[in-house]
A and B are shown apart, each in its own frame.
Chain A
Amino acid sequence: MCLYEEAHGVDASHPIFQGPFPVSPTWHDMPTPEHYLTTDPTLATSMRAWLVHRDKLPKNAYIGVVADGFGFHDSPDAEWIASGRNSKNARAAALARQGNFFHWGFAAAPPELTDEAQRVFLNTLVYMRKFAGQRPLVVGEGPSREWLTAYLAGDKPLAKYVRNKLPPTWLAAGDDLPRLREALAAEVGFLRYEGKQWQVDADCRRLGLDNRVPASLRTCADLLAAGGDDAATARAVLERYTGERFATAADWRRWLDDAGDRLFHSDVVGRFLVAPNDLVPPHRPAGR
């Protein structure tokens, strides 16, 4: 329970701001909460914000809820629309959707909502109608690897819980932050979350396969077809990251062709999934 009166990072191009009752948000500058800098030191000193609550929340009032915003867009069933001033970080989601579930994190009852927020809420109801029958595609507890960038962003010594999440191979030479950031940049595509800790997938690293990218699976199918020294590793990677089992490279290629651009990777489940044909495409703002 940690979301207060105002939204920031708002995607005002999202349909819930467009209609049927158009809203042109009234913006104001909000000082960037100091604790946001822990996970993103590049933030400016103020943020463009939009009031959702009419009045400042009194002490011990009902305050809202933010969701984990890191990795929110790694599946096509999800939309990150806005954060809001909160006690966690600037990416935490105050307005968001996954499948047929919309997260309206603000706690205000209607009389406490601004006129603009009331209209956006009504628009949200209308917007959600088209998600009847849709389901969340990724369900699980896997954290996004985007958290690692946040963990390593500051200049303070690593907390124990952060150290416990980093790949042991990174920590073998100490916990020097610049060196850890280099390791992250070099190996972010090879990471795999196992046993509540990130690990570097040695197979992906050796073959140079980014385990978030569908093209890596096609490369594996090619290696399997070639039948060389890497064929067994390629099959293991295919099976590890899809949960599928096929006998031949031709079978894998057929499956990949059928999946086409519906194939996506999510850290929530740590593997690729195929979106259904009837998926309502998510709104993605330019540049995100």
Chain B
Amino acid sequence: MRILVPALLFTGLAAAQAPRLDLKVLYAGVKDHPRTAQWREFLGGHGATVTFAEVEKLADGDGKDADVVILDCPDPIVRSATGNVERIAVPVPKGVTVAFDRPVVVIAGMAIHTDRLHLKSDWL
């Protein structure tokens, strides 16, 4: 117990200092992918209320109750058994157009979608 008390105190202090969010986040990613679980755990662990949507099925009007929408996907590069790049397969959320009015954070490979929308945040 003498050992545990300081440890618990330290843990409690660290948790109190951890950044907390008062945000509703719609995380749009790929269902059942480990990356999705990591993002949900991270966001929820910082106090965000996280809901999930399949990024490819995201529709105009989705996220209307969210403060911010995250577009994410696993590595879109598809490789052969020898590691060569075969193709790039990025989910296409057809509902996310330039008319989509929620705040959106586009992570990494999903910029290929904003490139197709001809935004400045394109894929150079």
Could you say which of A75, A125, A139, A268 contacts B68, with CB atoms under 8 Å apart?
A: A125
- A residues in contact with B38, CB < 8 Å: 109-111
For residue A228, give the distance in angstroms from its CB to the closest CB of chain B.
Answer: 40
The residue in B42, B117, B120 that gathers the most chain A C-beta atoms within 10 A of its C-beta is: B120
Do A268 and B120 form a contact, CB below 8 Å, given A104-B107, A107-B108, A132-B101? yes
Question: Within 8 Å of chain A (Cβ to Cβ): is B109?
Answer: yes
Question: Within 8 Å of chain B (Cβ to Cβ): is A141?
Answer: yes
A101 touches B121 (CB 8 A): yes
For residue B32, give the distance in angstroms from its CB to the closest CB of chain A.
Answer: 15
B104 touches A67 (CB 8 A): no
Question: Within 8 Å of chain A (Cβ to Cβ): is B111?
Answer: yes
A2 to B88, CA, bound (A): 13
Do A65 and B118 form a contact, CB below 8 Å, given A21-B19, A122-B21? no
| Contact residues, A108-129 vs B (CB, 8 A) | 109-111, 118-119, 122, 124-126, 128-129
A101 touches B25 (CB 8 A): no
Question: Within 8 Å of chain B (Cβ to Cβ): is A253?
Answer: no
Question: B-side binding surface: helix, strand, loop or mixed?
Answer: loop
B120 touches A68 (CB 8 A): yes
Question: Within 8 Å of chain B (Cβ to Cβ): is A100?
Answer: yes
A61 to B75, CA, bound (A): 8
Interface size class of A (residues with CB under 8 A): 35 or more
Question: Within 8 Å of chain B (Cβ to Cβ): is A62?
Answer: yes
- A residues in contact with B108, CB < 8 Å: 3, 62, 64-65, 104-107
Could you say which of A2, A69, A128 contacts B103, with CB atoms under 8 Å apart?
A: A128
A20 to B46, CA, bound (A): 13
Could you say which of B39, B77, B109, B120 contacts A98, with CB atoms under 8 Å apart?
A: B120
B105 touches A124 (CB 8 A): yes
- A residues in contact with B5, CB < 8 Å: none
| Contact residues, B98-124 vs A (CB, 8 A) | 98-109, 111-112, 114, 117-124
- B residues in contact with A110, CB < 8 Å: 38-39, 41-42
Question: Within 8 Å of chain B (Cβ to Cβ): is A131?
Answer: yes
Question: Within 8 Å of chain A (Cβ to Cβ): is B59?
Answer: no
Question: Within 8 Å of chain A (Cβ to Cβ): is B79?
Answer: yes
| Contact residues, A34-73 vs B (CB, 8 A) | 59-62, 64-69, 72
Question: Within 8 Å of chain B (Cβ to Cβ): is A281?
Answer: no
B23 touches A126 (CB 8 A): yes
- A residues in contact with B25, CB < 8 Å: 125
**Chain A residue with Cβ nearest B122:** A67
Could you say which of B35, B99, B100, B120 contacts A78, with CB atoms under 8 Å apart?
A: B120
A126 to B24, CA, bound (A): 10
B124 touches A125 (CB 8 A): no
A43 to B38, CA, bound (A): 38
A209 to B13, CA, bound (A): 63
A125 touches B120 (CB 8 A): no
- B residues in contact with A67, CB < 8 Å: 111, 120-124
- A residues in contact with B39, CB < 8 Å: 109-110
The residue in A105, A109, A128 that gathers the most chain B C-beta atoms within 10 A of its C-beta is: A109
Q: Which of the segments A88-96, A191-199, A200-208 contacts the partner chain?
A: A88-96
A97 to B100, CA, bound (A): 15
B79 touches A60 (CB 8 A): yes
B109 touches A136 (CB 8 A): no
- A residues in contact with B101, CB < 8 Å: 100, 132-135
The chain A residues found within 8 Å of chain B, CB to CB, are: 1-3, 20-21, 59-62, 64-69, 72, 75, 78, 88, 92-93, 96-107, 109-111, 118-119, 122, 124-126, 128-136, 138-141, 268
Q: Given A1-B76, A65-B124, A129-B103, list of 4 further CB < 8 A pairs?
A: A65-B123, A67-B120, A126-B21, A133-B101
